[in-house]
Structure 1
């Protein structure tokens, strides 16, 4: 489906239509809900429970609240998770995975990634206030993430996803997190400069498998979201 045809359409509907055009017999179920948003506890509980029944969870929101909620479901139900994000200004991006009982649980993995970035001792290029997709380079020139950078990182996430589904234990990827550069900014020496991150097992996978009741949603929020996010 062309971008013009899906213009003005919600992403979940556009993706559903795209999948059906690729394979008319595919069975697609969409949920249009904001994780952590102003939704009813009952609606949120139902959405999270359905996520827990999936074979793989993918977070492409770059939203901490959504990540934490998806990560909590992945950890509780022992479902593999992939997440992807494009850095401000399109200077690069990160793609990572968490496989049950192999990799650290998603929240621990993200903490290790943050620590790795801090250990590089290279000052982060700050985004322009109010726009997470923009940043300024050393000369003060604005840089904006484009569809090209987003498409590249989406492709990397797709490779992680298909690898996970086809090889639940083995993998063609020796590391579970990669930082990919698109310009000579931050710690990247040149475009397509890629840095692997060796994630170490941490955290306990699994937990109660009962269905989530509305009250359990509040407990998940309290357990997995920081005070500033709740």
Structure 2
């Protein structure tokens, strides 16, 4: 299937910002009407938590308190779920297990507040965090082993890493900087293939690197689908024309 989501960014430990803040300022009637319109079009509306500006583990935030606060926000403002865009690279790179433990506790608490089947709970990890080398405490391989059953899927960030810029490096063999972190290599490490959504920027200005020309990316998705991958794609700032072009071969609209 091709996941149809609209993610409001961002919900921070300090409260809503940007699109999430705008959503919260709407009156209840307007939010309800908008939500019904999205849902009727087959689109779920979720909120994206943290982002690159927050370092919740490094900052010493309590994962239980933050999870309860964010789950309450999701319910209060009538959303379909939450995407955990955790990018605390300092904590993950430390390799002491604190990042993994924080994420595991946070995910367990979120899921206790947002029951599976009623709410969507996804994570958006950096692709290198699924690597079998470089992270002594396991990074997302450890997170998945602990709480992967609670996570609906992973919106994997295959960008900002100076890699994953061809179909080969994206799908079958990543470069030497982050080995074994292409799509099928991650799956070979034990992550369920169809929980791995390919995240790519819609233009060269939407990320520091990792952009693949639209037609090429559409071909990459088709190549992956022919190998039984069916998870879909995630894209920051993609407009309708870009989305239609990217999914044209593997997930044509209306089919």
TM-score by length of 2: 0.29
TM-score by length of 1: 0.31
Give 1 or 2 for the bigger CA radius of gyration: 1
